[in-house]
Amino acid sequence: MKNQRINVSRRDFLIQGTAIGAGFSLGLFLPLSSRTAFAADNAPSYSSTASSPAGPEVNAWVEILEDDTVVIRIARSEMGQGTLTGLAQMVAEELECDWSKVTTEYPTPGENLARDKVWRSFSTGGSQGIRGSHDYVRKGGAVARHMLIQAAAEQWGVPMAECTAENSVITHQPSGRTTTYGKVAALAAELFPPEHIELKDPKDWKLIGKPVKRLDTVDKLNGKQVFAADLQLPGMLNAAIKACPVFGGTLKSFDDSKVRKMPGVHKILKVGDYAVAVVADTWWHAKSALDELPIDWNKGPNADLSSAAIDKMLDEGLSSSDNVFVGNRNGDVDKALKAAVKTVEATYSYPYQNHATMEPMTATALWTRDKCEVWCPTQNGEVALEATAEASGLDIRQCDVYKIHLGGGFGRRGAVHDFVTQAVAIAKQIPGTPVKLLWSREEDMAHGFYHPVTKCKLVGGLDDKGNLNGLHVRISGQSILASIRPQWLAENGADMITFQGFHAEGDHAISYSVADLLVEHAMRNPAVPAGFWRGVNINQNAIYTECFIDELAHAASRDPLEFRRQLMKDHPQSLAVLNAVAEKAGWGTAAAKGVHRGLAVTKTFGSYVAACAEVSVKQDGKLKIHRIVAATDPGYAVNPQQIEAQVEGSFVYGLSALLYGECTVKDGAVEQSNFHDYPSMLIDEMPEVEVIVMPSGGFWGGIGEPTIAVAAPAVLNGIFAATGKRIREFPLKNIDLRA
């Protein structure tokens, strides 16, 4: 029987050898009709697609070449988090292929559309890359293995049951005859896939759970990895853009007479109703001209917006009954608090943060009357494709997006593709010419989709034994969904993502049992665009919860670890990670002189995480974070060494926010413009990190985001232990830590 196969034709783009010191030739990406022509070893790769020649496609996930090279298709995006390697491990585990011959490639969202979403979701956010696709990608590998073995058996005329596969070699057990995947792949590709396939028992895994090396490291060491900001296409022009700095403002006019004659300038264009772009031969020319361009803006309705006004708006929400949603409720919190022997009250607040990916926003677009193509770093190729289609005025089937590894994502390049919309809007005004749009850092700082602002008032009651008898949490502030995905709001208008870490159950469930509990959100939406930012709302919610639990323990004169443990009897997995960090950090034993410890625990993105930080604060108020012991139980740990890298990395992102991260608003615009006023922590501030990976099995939790939540509260609780100071406003750069 022959299998019905869709023949996928694709355009691939390779750099023509930009040899080091080879003269003046620019590296050019040449559009090719097939991949077979150029598989040059020296070709810089902008994605894993570039270096893989064509072979038979066994199924959508697996392509095998005659030399046994296995090309594994990866629908999610690589932005540093290691998903590319982890997903390849999952396919290869079931495929039983030779790991040393595995390469990867990105299918395009256009192909996914044409093939009825055979690769399912391209979304790379919410720590979903692996946990959202573990089942079907493993099945993809298993089905391919089955078809390869079947092909060999048919070729040999033996029962399939007598054949086994390992390391890309198929063996007919009775005769000892062998063949390789590469030799039977073409035949396998013609077969029908099996109707049922069984996955391995996790105890039999050989590759999942192993600390294998990343597949994308080598090209990142010598400049060969081509990011979207580096892309070159034949005849390409470069664009720099400036949008109205005031949120909601529009472009009134610009006077191009001053810059039209500047070197290299081709065009000065209006982009949408809110931005102007200079298109030039080089980006430096485009940016230099844009800096000189006189522009008038209509500042619009938010021209007076300030941080002080936003503050006031949030303060009002702390006690208002307007537009308030309940996220979790048990018992009767009012009654419990009235019955309390002692109540504790505190109000925290959390500022706007910019993602500040190292690679600023960028996209390259080529528009003609019947086709629009975009090359970009994206966390969601399908959303990028939708943005392309909408901006191009073409049918989505006339568009495609070529994904390029991201120079950082952190949520900025997922839900919103404003940079793609702009690139297409520019390219559409210059038909047939590819245009690369690159934002300046200043543009990137001014036009983020910022980590939302919230404040939180917590009231807790203690009974006569010093036990928590009631907890009232009132969050006031911005909803991400209301800003960028209003269609995802609940029917009553609630944004349940606001309650991350407070949910009654599920991936973001509260880690404590509190008999009388009320968690509410007064939604207050300032005109600053909000977006998903690594960790999303667990960043501040874990600070609110974990610092306040520490406050309660202190008010009850109880040990913070023991106080937590008593509330966690029904949360054994959370308790296990908390105990693990306490034990490894030596909680209850003396730390080095001047060093103090703080704890935090949470469940988020489906994983259980905890941290114990060791800090000291000098007399002059200087903070040093010495060490953080972190534990994570993600259910299954696909690549432990990459989990360690993600834990350490999440701490840098989370601690940078704690120490420095703050976007303030004045006259309707963000005041910070670059890394001088929006700093990021450096290597000299980085604590030692000890990572405990403790997969308990039976579920799939996220990795990229969960641990970010526990870094800040553990450090803050350590600062309290060191100084007696409760810090409730951030970042710490604004706070005097002197005891």
Partner 1 sequence: MIKLKINGELFEVDVEGSTPLLWVLREQLGLTGTKYSCGIGICGSCTVHIDGKAVRSCLISVSSLDTSQDIVTIEGLSADNNHPLQQAWKELDVPQCGYCQPGMIMSAAALLNANPDPSDADIDNNITNICRCGTFNRVRKGIHLAADIAGDKKPNNKRGGA
Draw the binding track, 251-280, toward partner 1 (x: CB under 8 A; -: no contact). ------------x-----------------
CB 423 within 8 A of CB 437: yes
Q: Please, which residue, 545 or 639, has the CB nearer to partner 1?
A: 639
**Nearest approach, Cβ of 277 to partner 1 (angstroms)?**
17
**Nearest approach, Cβ of 231 to partner 1 (angstroms)?**
9
Q: Which of residues 71-110 bind partner 1 (CB under 8 A)?
A: 79-82
Q: Please, which residue, 1 or 20, has the CB nearer to partner 1?
A: 20
Q: Which of 223, 294, 431, 493 binds partner 1 (CB under 8 A)?
A: 223
Dist. CA 534–CA 410, nearest whole Å: 5
Q: Please, which residue, 512 or 651, has the CB nearer to partner 1?
A: 651
Residue 648's alpha-carbon distances to 29, 626, 642, in angstroms, are 36, 14, 10
Dist. CA 608–CA 501, nearest whole Å: 11
Burial pattern 454-492, b for ≥16 Cβ within 10 A else e, equals bbbbbbbbbeeebbbbbbbbbbbbbbbbbbbbeeebeee
- Locate 715 and state its tokens: 């450090």
Dist. CA 127–CA 138, nearest whole Å: 18
Residue 410 engages partner 1 in binding (rule: CB under 8 A) = yes
Query: Which of 552, 329, 392 lies closest to 460, judged by CA?
Result: 552
Draw the binding track, 427-466, toward partner 1 (x: CB under 8 A; -: no contact). -----------x-xx-------------------------
**Nearest approach, Cβ of 114 to partner 1 (angstroms)?**
29
DSSP state of 111: H
Q: Which residue has the tokens 């040999």?
A: 156
Q: Please, which residue, 346 or 595, has the CB nearer to partner 1?
A: 595
**Nearest approach, Cβ of 726 to partner 1 (angstroms)?**
27
The radius of gyration of the chain's CA atoms, rounded to the nearest angstrom, is 27
In which region does residue 605 sit, left (phi positive, over 0), alpha (psi from -120 to 50) or beta (all else)?
left
Draw the binding track, 15-54, toward partner 1 (x: CB under 8 A; -: no contact). ---x-xx-xxxxx---------------------------
CB 437 within 8 A of CB 363: yes
Query: Which H or E run contains 373?
Result: strand 371-376
Q: Which of 129, 327, 360, 706 binds partner 1 (CB under 8 A)?
A: 360
Q: Which of 12, 111, 256, 359 binds partner 1 (CB under 8 A)?
A: 359
Residue 408 engages partner 1 in binding (rule: CB under 8 A) = yes
**Nearest approach, Cβ of 432 to partner 1 (angstroms)?**
22
Q: Please, which residue, 593 or 676, has the CB nearer to partner 1?
A: 676
- The type of residue at 227 is F
Q: Please, which residue, 533 or 548, has the CB nearer to partner 1?
A: 533
Residue 229 engages partner 1 in binding (rule: CB under 8 A) = yes
Query: Which H or E run contains 163?
Result: strand 163-166
Residue 594 engages partner 1 in binding (rule: CB under 8 A) = no
Q: Please, which residue, 395 or 688, has the CB nearer to partner 1?
A: 688
Paired residues of 617 in beta bridges: 623
Q: Which of 101, 405, 503, 554 binds partner 1 (CB under 8 A)?
A: 405
Sign of CA dihedral 28, 33, 39, 44: positive
Q: Which of 136, 156, 205, 227 binds partner 1 (CB under 8 A)?
A: 227
Whether residue 731 has a cis bond before it, omega within 30° of 0: yes
Q: Binding segment for partner 1 among 151-159, 211-219, 308-316, 427-435 (CB under 8 A)?
A: 211-219
Paired residues of 13 in beta bridges: 31
**Nearest approach, Cβ of 78 to partner 1 (angstroms)?**
8
Q: Which of residues 606-645 bind partner 1 (CB under 8 A)?
A: 641-642, 645
Q: Please, which residue, 590 or 683, has the CB nearer to partner 1?
A: 683
Total site size for partner 1, rule CB under 8 A: 69
Residue 218 engages partner 1 in binding (rule: CB under 8 A) = yes
Beta strand residue intervals within 209-248, DSSP E: 237-243
Residue 736 engages partner 1 in binding (rule: CB under 8 A) = no
**Nearest approach, Cβ of 704 to partner 1 (angstroms)?**
10
**Nearest approach, Cβ of 264 to partner 1 (angstroms)?**
9
Q: Please, which residue, 29 or 181, has the CB nearer to partner 1?
A: 29
Residue 572's alpha-carbon distances to 461, 503, 559, 568, 633, in angstroms, are 24, 17, 19, 7, 11
Q: Which residue has the tokens 């985001």?
A: 705
CB 721 within 8 A of CB 553: no
Residue 22's alpha-carbon distances to 16, 17, 18, 25, 27, in angstroms, are 12, 9, 7, 7, 10
Q: Which of residues 669-688 bind partner 1 (CB under 8 A)?
A: 674-676, 680, 682-684, 686-688
**Nearest approach, Cβ of 732 to partner 1 (angstroms)?**
18
Q: Please, which residue, 27 or 248, has the CB nearer to partner 1?
A: 27
Q: How many CB atoms lie within 10 A of CB 296?
A: 10
Q: Please, which residue, 70 or 404, has the CB nearer to partner 1?
A: 404
Residue 586's alpha-carbon distances to 547, 591, 623, 723, in angstroms, are 20, 8, 21, 20
Residue 243 engages partner 1 in binding (rule: CB under 8 A) = no
**Nearest approach, Cβ of 686 to partner 1 (angstroms)?**
4
Dist. CA 355–CA 350, nearest whole Å: 15
CB 52 within 8 A of CB 105: yes
Dist. CA 72–CA 61, nearest whole Å: 6
Strands 342-350 and 454-462: antiparallel
Q: Which of 74, 363, 523, 689 binds partner 1 (CB under 8 A)?
A: 689
**Nearest approach, Cβ of 423 to partner 1 (angstroms)?**
17
Q: Which of 574, 656, 717, 723 binds partner 1 (CB under 8 A)?
A: 656
What's phi and psi for 545, nearest 5 deg? -70, -50
How buried is residue 395: exposed, middle or buried, by Cβ count under 10 Å (0-12/13-18/19+)? exposed
- The type of residue at 304 is D
**Nearest approach, Cβ of 85 to partner 1 (angstroms)?**
9
Q: Please, which residue, 218 or 326, has the CB nearer to partner 1?
A: 218
**Nearest approach, Cβ of 224 to partner 1 (angstroms)?**
7
**Nearest approach, Cβ of 30 to partner 1 (angstroms)?**
14
DSSP string, 577-623: HHHHHHHHHTTTS--STT-EEEEEEEEETTEEEEEEEEEEE-TT--E
**Nearest approach, Cβ of 593 to partner 1 (angstroms)?**
17
One-letter-per-residue 3-state SS of 688-702: EEEEEECCCCCCECC
Q: Please, which residue, 63 or 705, has the CB nearer to partner 1?
A: 705
Q: Which of 76, 146, 214, 299 binds partner 1 (CB under 8 A)?
A: 214
Q: Which of residues 272-331 bind partner 1 (CB under 8 A)?
A: 282-284
Q: Which residue has the tokens 């309707």?
A: 668
Judged by the rule CB under 8 A, the positions of this chain that interact with partner 1 are 18, 20-21, 23-27, 79-82, 213-214, 216-227, 229-230, 232, 238, 263, 282-284, 356-360, 405-410, 438, 440-441, 641-642, 645, 648-653, 656, 674-676, 680, 682-684, 686-689
